[in-house]
Structure 1
Amino acid sequence: MPMKKLTRPPPLCRPLQPSTTTNLPPPPPPDTSLIAPPTLSLTSPTSTTQSQLTNFINSHLKNNLTANDLLSFLKNHLHHHPKFAHLDLHVFRHAATLDSFRHDHSTYEWMVRTLAITHRLDSLSSVLDFIVSNPCPCSDGIFSCSRTEPIFRFAINSFCNVGRFNDAIHAFHNMRKLVDGKPNTAIYNILIHSFVKYGEFEKGLEFYERMINDRVKPDVVTFNILINGYFRSSRFGLALEVFKEMRVKGCTPNVVTFNTLIKGFFRERKFKEGIGMAYEMIELGCGLSSVTCEILVDGLIKDGRVSEVCDLVLDFSRKRVLPTTFDYFGLIESLCDKGNVVIAKSIVDEIWENGNAPSSITCTILIDGLRKIGNIELAFTLMDKMLKESIVPDSVTFNCVLGDLCNSGRTLEADKLRILGCNKGVCVDEVTYNILVSGYSKEGRKIEGKCIVDEMLDKEFIPDIATYNRLMKGLGIR
């Protein structure tokens, strides 16, 4: 059955006068400077005529329009339309002028999120004001609509992300008029965090006081934000007072709390206190994170306390509290740079033995260090252990170790390592095979060398007959 034409509303391309039942202002002219979301490809509104837009709406919307109908139209037809997508707010406002239509939380939420995501924050403010004047039908009863607070929270977060605090506070006041009871702690945290982020910590403290006056209980996120704010404003003592306060109020610190405190201690060059805080984490059963260890290791290394880092990491490893995700390549790199390669090797071996396998980067750094001091045997042993533990090295490091073995007359061992590497996923290339052919040539192993050349042929690593003849001649095969 063909759809009925929507003839009641005036054309959308001229300003629409609101009905007497709504306080929504008439829509402004289309703003061609608005940033469209990545999924949209908008053309200039000047190419959109009144008749085209009216016909498009009439073909998809019926006379007795409901909120569900409008939401479906906005999501499925208008949102991805190449010509009309940027006119979603005009359609939203136009629908509000229909006597038989009333927006609900579904259309409000879609419009608020769309405006926020596309950075049309001026329009977002006007829509929030309209929601206050025209609450969701769910609020007609005793209780307010349960979706009102999440809608405003999304808008407040969008304002805070770009530092529009006046708009965020205004939206907060509007939300307070609509919701039942006290707002969620998360909304206060969003505002306080944004004040800290943009260097307005005093305003953040004022809003924290308001939170307390509103009898909203702060959580661990609130205290973490305050601690970070005090550190950023160089008020170290007050940060510690907040840490004490949160424990007095029965709020258990989490890993973020301790990481913030450790970073603050290190910033003040209070390394002993920072390390002590890490051990307090362990005692409280909070557990070290990889970020905690990075803060400790990087901070101590930057201050030249490499020996303290070694003792700390080994102690964590022996206590079985070193996170398996922590990559201690920075410590190994620092030791190797200072010529302490053997110490670095012993640290890697002990931590590995305790269940914390090193990363490929850590092993590569250590292998390079061992090769520089001429310890080919340890480099080969480490490479062999890496591969058996399925830690795949890069092809350059792998070929370098093979080259060292071949140069020292151990081409058979190098070839076995090549086979192991192939099975474990090492990218073996023509360089690898040329190294082995050269090694077998020097050792006079014609049969083994010919097998490598034949394999190179199978893998199409030999580009022409001249290259083949050169390899065979090097092996002494005519």
Structure 2
Amino acid sequence: MVIKKFPKPIPLLQPIPPKPPSPIPNPTLPSPPEVSPTPLPTLTLFHSPNHTHLLSFLKNHINPPFTPQSLLYFLKSKLHHHPNFTHYDFHIFSWASTIDSYRHDHSTFEWMARTLAITDRFTDLRSLLHFMVSNPCPCSDGIFSCSRTEHIFQFAIVAYCKVGKLDDAVDAFECMRKLIDGKPSVVIYNILINGFVKCGWHDKALGFYSRMIKDRVRPDVITFNILLNSYCRNSEFKLALELFKEMKEKGCSPNVVSFNTLIKGFFRKRKFEEGIEMAYEMIEMGCEISNVTCEVLVDGLCKEGRVLEACDLLIDFSIKGVLPNGYDYFGLIEALCGSGNSARALEIVNELWRKENRPSLIICTTLIEGLRLSGKISEAFRLTERMLKEGMVPDNVTFTCLLQDLCNVGRTVEANKLRLLACSKGLDSTGMAYDILVSGYTREGKRKEGKMLVDEMLDRGFIPDIASYNKLMGGLANARNFV
């Protein structure tokens, strides 16, 4: 049997000076048998009984000369899915780069960079990026650089920023600048500025923004939003407003995130009027307010006890047609009902519902409870009826309590009609609901209606024994007939 020849042993990728690569402190893969004329690749790996199997695996799947496409296929489809050999991918990648007839291109660079980043092998990723500087993609042999270079480095920079390795992220940025044509995109600058902000390095974020301006890269709305957020987080609200002004002077239109950031800043400084004015400026500029905008405004006012002011603001937004669909104003309704102002809460719900901002089920349930506790049984009844007609089914506890309230005020007939409507919408009547209605009919002297419910209870198994049946029927028989 002829053993295929592997030209050279596998070294590690060597990063450019000044920092030499650190050797991997692991034993070396054993050499091939002496009878073999071909030196198999030696890898610096941790000790494993699978080393010899790896050599055989390589011989069976890599046949020099190979191309970047065939190597990539091997790495992705063969090595990557092997449970024992997948962690050797960077060593195989490094060895391939030493073969005279082979040269990595952007496809292998990109796959290896993404793999190293995803698996948190950041030291190897740094070596790879430096290797790319001294061994660029063959696409760069012409006039222009490889179009995938910036994408490869962008993925690496994002990975470094996510784990707070900002020095490595900046190092990757410097490597990228040596390879690409022209200026880096604004996206790369935004990633790094945002990385500094998330790590709490406000001054470094501003420094990199200054570098961005010096490099004649035009900031976009995302750049300004990141810096606005950083200023507000560092209690430099005055400077945030100056940046907002600069933003508009540079011809960059603020978006909903810009306004939300400043409104939050105003509210954090307890400048509620200024925050509300900012919201109206947002509307005048044609920028649609979002659910977040409403949450900041309404929740912020409610926390300060300015609940009625929040109501007026929400109603005005609705009248102007700028209230976002699906906005959940549960907090406002809860605050109103909690303070005993369920009447105002009902006005809010009816007004917004009229403008097709249908309340959520939890809002309606909260409002029903608030109306009941305020003694507004008729309003609670009408709201529940409207809910059911709109396909919103309340929970059994809330519904049963409302039935009890209606029966207590002599409106058992309406209560039973509501029960039938609820049944048609999927809310199954409970034994307690039947008991409440039968008791109501008994107090009102409506024997016929009560007997019909008792028979229905009997058919559905809600009457456990003859004694219970006799008790219900006896109550109806002794009831004074008012009709």
Q: Percent identity?
A: 56
Alignment of 1:108 onto 2:102: no
**What's the counterpart of residue 39 of structure 1?**
none
> How many Å apart are 1:166 and its aligned residue?
0.6
Pick which of 205-214 and 98-107 moved more. Answer: 98-107
Seen in structure 2, the aligned counterparts of structure 1 residues 314 and 10 have a Cα distance that, compared at 3 Å, is same
**What's the counterpart of residue 171 of structure 1?**
172
**What's the counterpart of residue 269 of structure 2?**
268
TM-score (norm 1): 0.85
**What's the counterpart of residue 436 of structure 2?**
439
**What's the counterpart of residue 210 of structure 2?**
209
Alignment check: 8 A CA contact 1:27 1:93 kept: no
Aligned length in residues: 446
One-letter amino acid of the counterpart of residue 144, structure 1: S
Alignment check: 8 A CA contact 1:182 1:214 kept: yes
CA offsets 1:35-87 (integer angstroms, 9 cap, x no match): xxxxxxxxx96555212222233333333322112222222233333222222
Alignment of 1:28 onto 2:24: yes
> How many Å apart are 1:423 and its aligned residue?
4.7
**What's the counterpart of residue 67 of structure 1?**
68
One-letter amino acid of the counterpart of residue 142, structure 1: I
TM-score (norm 2): 0.85
Seen in structure 2, the aligned counterparts of structure 1 residues 311 and 95 have a Cα distance that, compared at 3 Å, is same
One-letter amino acid of the counterpart of residue 139, structure 2: C
CA offsets 1:92-126 (integer angstroms, 9 cap, x no match): 22222333222211121112112212222222111
> How many Å apart are 1:157 and its aligned residue?
1.0
One-letter amino acid of the counterpart of residue 448, structure 1: L
3-state SS, counterpart of residue 473 of structure 2: coil
CA distance in 2: counterparts of 1:19 and 1:360, whole angstroms: 61
**What's the counterpart of residue 374 of structure 2?**
373
CA distance in 1: counterparts of 2:245 and 2:277, whole angstroms: 16
Alignment check: 8 A CA contact 1:329 1:362 kept: yes
3-state SS, counterpart of residue 119 of structure 1: coil
Alignment of 1:244 onto 2:242: no
Alignment check: 8 A CA contact 1:220 1:251 kept: yes
**What's the counterpart of residue 390 of structure 2?**
389
Seen in structure 2, the aligned counterparts of structure 1 residues 61 and 417 have a Cα distance that, compared at 3 Å, is farther
Seen in structure 2, the aligned counterparts of structure 1 residues 200 and 19 have a Cα distance that, compared at 3 Å, is closer
3-state SS, counterpart of residue 146 of structure 2: coil
CA distance in 2: counterparts of 1:18 and 1:433, whole angstroms: 74
Instruction: Choose from 457, 464, 468 the match for 1:467.
Output: 464
One-letter amino acid of the counterpart of residue 293, structure 2: T
CA distance in 1: counterparts of 2:403 and 2:4, whole angstroms: 78
Matches within 5 A, 1:132-211: 132-211=133-212
Alignment check: 8 A CA contact 1:437 1:471 kept: no
Pick which of 133-142 and 444-453 moved more. Answer: 444-453
3-state SS, counterpart of residue 123 of structure 1: helix
Larger Rg belongs to: 2
Alignment of 1:17 onto 2:11: yes
Matches within 5 A, 1:33-432: 46-406=47-407, 408=409, 410=411, 412-424=413-425, 426=427, 428=428, 432=429
**What's the counterpart of residue 478 of structure 2?**
none
**What's the counterpart of residue 450 of structure 1?**
455
CA offsets 1:252-297 (integer angstroms, 9 cap, x no match): 1100010011111111111111100000011111011110010111
CA distance in 2: counterparts of 1:217 and 1:230, whole angstroms: 20
> How many Å apart are 1:155 and its aligned residue?
0.8
> How many Å apart are 1:138 and its aligned residue?
1.3
One-letter amino acid of the counterpart of residue 177, structure 1: K
CA offsets 1:230-261 (integer angstroms, 9 cap, x no match): 11121111111111111111111100010011
3-state SS, counterpart of residue 467 of structure 1: coil
> How many Å apart are 1:406 and its aligned residue?
5.0
3-state SS, counterpart of residue 231 of structure 1: helix
Alignment check: 8 A CA contact 2:8 2:99 kept: no
3-state SS, counterpart of residue 357 of structure 2: coil
Pick which of 155-164 and 371-380 moved more. Answer: 371-380
One-letter amino acid of the counterpart of residue 11, structure 2: Q
CA distance in 2: counterparts of 1:104 and 1:30, whole angstroms: 29
3-state SS, counterpart of residue 476 of structure 1: helix
Alignment check: 8 A CA contact 1:160 1:168 kept: yes
CA distance in 2: counterparts of 1:100 and 1:306, whole angstroms: 75
CA distance in 1: counterparts of 2:313 and 2:413, whole angstroms: 41
Seen in structure 2, the aligned counterparts of structure 1 residues 47 and 241 have a Cα distance that, compared at 3 Å, is same
Alignment check: 8 A CA contact 1:193 1:204 kept: yes
Instruction: Choose from 1, 5, 8 the match for 2:6.
Output: 8
Alignment check: 8 A CA contact 2:438 2:453 kept: no
Seen in structure 2, the aligned counterparts of structure 1 residues 376 and 180 have a Cα distance that, compared at 3 Å, is same
CA distance in 2: counterparts of 1:77 and 1:140, whole angstroms: 31
